[in-house]
Structure 1
Amino acid sequence: MSTHQQDELELEGAQSNILHQPAPVFAVAFACIIAFMGLGLVDPILPAISSQLHASKSQTELLFTSYNLVTGIAMLITGFISTRIGPKWTLLTGLFLIVGFSFLAGHSNTIGQIVGFRAGWGLGNALFIATALSVIVGVARGTTASAIILYEAALGLGISVGPLLGGTLGAHSWRDPFYGVACLMGIGFIAVLLFLRGVPKPAHRTSISAPFKALKYKGLLTLALTALFYNFGFFTLLAYTPFPLHMGIHQLGFVFFGWGILLAITSVFVAPRLEARFGLLPTMYTILTLITVTLLVMGFGVRSQATLAICVIVVGAFLGINNTLITTAVMESAPVERPTASAAYSFVRFVGGGIAPWLAGKLSDTVSAACPFYVGALGVVIGIICLFIGRNALSHVGGGKSH
């Protein structure tokens, strides 16, 4: 049997294991779906918030900046907390914070209040996301690959449904999507409380310095820096594009729903097959190049509503592939515990997600509507360069077919 045939069999086994999991895994996966809804839920209502609260684009984009920066910084303490109070209570604490701050965001009367409450939401998000991935990987049946696919499936489903729900609820008021998140995360809280059992505390406690120490491994650092610059493209698409699209809330919801559907499909079914066929790095180089080209097309066609809408939907396919590949690679990139690797990686990458939205809004206000897309494309190119420079440190990742 050839190596390629063996890879295909392993992949089929990993995907078949997705549906044969214990109840705790599905409880966490369900909460993940709702948590990731929050990422795209505000997309359709950004123009409405900007208009009704008399905020500039850059001020409105601070909703993403505060959320992402606090999420990234808080990732440094997730291991410290979860190894002391246990994974279950860390998840519940994160969910509780998201419920509270999303409700308060919906109850706000100024853009500054929403930005502040989104920062608190980011703290809860960090506690939940970092711990959820490690719990799913640790509790799920089958291989790490099957657990990652399940996690990415939850991510993709949440991201795809989020804008549609945001568009539906936001048609009445921009406040309703925030209240919707609070209600859904409350259901997630109950699911985790009732069904997540038998997950012990880690054998030893993690120090706050552990994520920094993990970044000394060049493979993990390479992926983190790649993701940092890639996020300039990702969050330019996610947070800025609703403004130049000039669509109604319902229309924006459907456009980003299409984006999320393709992201979900490719992250689960396409990414693992491409890696098995071509290897990690060749696939990532190609996909990141396609994302760069798409951003450039969006810059050139910024005045065309149809061009922007089509590009947003199509690029979802590329983003889904890259997200799965890089998340899986992070888990194998350094000889440290998975939660520590995830925390270190997320700390670095969310910096890009924090800066990019605000920068996009500022560039649009001061330079041109197309400029944010060009800067996003430049960010992805720098990410490709980082990946190429650190390629030798990733030779052991993805079955050794990284070259």
Structure 2
Amino acid sequence: MSAQPDVAQEFDHAESNILRQPAPVWAVAFACVVAFMGLGLVDPILPAISAQLHATKAQTELLFTSYMLVTGCMMVFTGFISTRIGPKYTLLSGLALIIVFSFLAGRSHSVGQIVGFRGGWGLGNAMFIATALSVIVSAARGTAASAIILYEAALGLGISVGPLLGGTLGEHSWRYPFYGVATLMAIGFVAVLLFLRGVPKPAHRASITAPFRALGHLSLLTLGLTSLFYNFGFFTLLGYGPYPLHMSAIGIGYTYFGWGILLAFTSVFVAPWLAEKFGILPVMYTMLALFALDLLVMGLSVHSRLTLVICIILAGAFLGVNNTVITTAVMQAAPVERPTASAAYSFVRFVGGAVAPWLAGKLSDAVGPAMPFFIGCLGVAVAIMVLWMGRNHLRHIQYVAH
């Protein structure tokens, strides 16, 4: 099977089509926004959960670990499931699981219960997110690039709004953000149920082993390992960052809202321009180096709240650009279908990166509040080395625009 064409070639035509979409696309896009809220939703309430449920930082960080571990493992099987029951029912199944487990997380009475329910949440999240992109691309009007921009916009909006919603609701109780997600996801469930029509099952059934076989391509494996180590920095910032801020839930929420807004803006508008002008790999090297430097400054200035706030928000720019260019690279990396490449890549980065939040909590308690940022910086530095060592396998990856 030949490699998929570079969707970046179509970005010049994307803006004229992105807003003129049928109801099924908007229904899935709305559900995407809410699904991605779950990534940063718990940020502002982590200190409150830790204090009120008498849990250590490491125990509380398992909320991220269980979520990412289950999401990564489940990504491998989503293609197998969706090609048998169809995209619509895969989406609805994922949404139903998120509704149930987010509600149960809000009803929990121990950190262990929340950790378990977040794992169930990750199961639903994997089923939904892995299918949503292919549904949007197949149902959207216009080019594939316009559909992917819409998906990236939903991702960025969800990541930015999640901490703000978590902080606002978390001011009253740490339980309310979980109930909020369950309510919004229920609305998304109804929207998908009513409006998503006409998306057929794929022509052939996907194999469970396809993502693992895809990792035999060293180009895709290089990008997966790069993202694995990069996630040590990403999830240290996202999962551990709220603790040294020593702020209220709403204060943490606004800080990460600024981070998410910058991430969303740069991923949609800045990343394509930089990649076209300088090339995908040079941009990745630069963004990873800037992010590593950002984490280093956070470690050196861990007792300065203002510095931490500035560094967290600024990191959104580096992460937004890097996320978009590495996703573009993954789509070109190996001669396999896009869903298979995405599943293989997501499996490596999520399963491997799942240890980062837990490790950050352990290091903070055992060594000091600055150490997690230093280890995150080291992880990103290793990601740069992995990318450089595998550069010969990535020479075919280019950003080409009309």
Q: Same fold (TM over 0.5)?
A: yes
The residue type paired with residue 346 of structure 2 is S
Who is 2:296 aligned against? 296
Give the Å deviation of 1:397. 2.2
Contact 1:101 1:120 in 2 (8 A): yes
The residue type paired with residue 170 of structure 2 is G
Deviations 1:292-335 (A, max 9, x none): 00000000000111110110001101111111111122122212
Give the Å deviation of 1:398. 2.6
Give the Å deviation of 1:281. 0.3
Q: Distance in 2 between matches of 1:229 and 1:170?
A: 31
Contact 1:298 1:308 in 2 (8 A): yes
Contact 1:149 1:267 in 2 (8 A): no
Q: Counterparts of 1:283-322 in structure 2 under 5 Å?
A: 283-322=283-322
Give the Å deviation of 1:114. 0.3
- Is 1:12 the counterpart of 2:12? The answer is yes
Deviations 1:13-72 (A, max 9, x none): 223332122222221111110001111111000000000000000000000000000000
The residue type paired with residue 76 of structure 2 is L
Give the Å deviation of 1:136. 1.9
Q: Counterparts of 1:80-91 in structure 2 under 5 Å?
A: 80-91=80-91
Deviations 1:82-134 (A, max 9, x none): 01001111011000000000000000000000000000000001101111122
Q: Distance in 2 between matches of 1:113 and 1:8?
A: 43
Q: Counterparts of 1:186-335 in structure 2 under 5 Å?
A: 186-335=186-335
Give the TM-score normalised by the residue count of structure 2.
Answer: 0.95
Q: Distance in 2 between matches of 1:103 and 1:253?
A: 21
Taking only the aligned residue pairs, the percentage that are identical comes to 73
Who is 1:4 aligned against? none
Question: Bigger shift: 144-153 or 284-293?
Answer: 144-153
Q: Distance in 2 between matches of 1:333 and 1:24?
A: 30
User: Equivalent residue of 1:257, what SS?
Assistant: helix
- Is 1:336 the counterpart of 2:336? The answer is yes
| RMSD, aligned CA | 1.6
Q: Distance in 1 between matches of 2:286 and 2:325?
A: 12
Contact 1:148 1:328 in 2 (8 A): no
- Is 1:65 the counterpart of 2:69? The answer is no
Deviations 1:214-264 (A, max 9, x none): 111122111111111111100000000100110011100110000000001
Which ranges of structure 1 fall in alignment gaps of 5 or more residues?
Answer: 1-6
User: Equivalent residue of 2:79, what SS?
Assistant: helix
Q: Distance in 2 between matches of 1:257 and 1:266?
A: 14
Aligned CA distance change for structure 1 residues 16 and 398 (closer, same or farther; 3 Å): farther
The residue type paired with residue 12 of structure 2 is E
> Which consecutive segments of 4 or more residues in structure 1 shift more than 6 A?
none
Contact 2:9 2:399 in 1 (8 A): no
Who is 2:3 aligned against? none
The residue type paired with residue 58 of structure 1 is A
Contact 1:331 1:341 in 2 (8 A): yes
Give the Å deviation of 1:142. 3.3
Which ranges of structure 2 fall in alignment gaps of 5 or more residues?
Answer: 1-6
Give the Å deviation of 1:384. 1.1
Aligned CA distance change for structure 1 residues 45 and 25 (closer, same or farther; 3 Å): same
Who is 1:3 aligned against? none
The residue type paired with residue 249 of structure 1 is A
Give the TM-score normalised by the residue count of structure 1.
Answer: 0.95
Q: Distance in 2 between matches of 1:152 and 1:318?
A: 15
Give the Å deviation of 1:8. 10
Q: Distance in 1 between matches of 2:395 and 2:205?
A: 30
Question: Bigger shift: 21-30 or 139-148?
Answer: 139-148
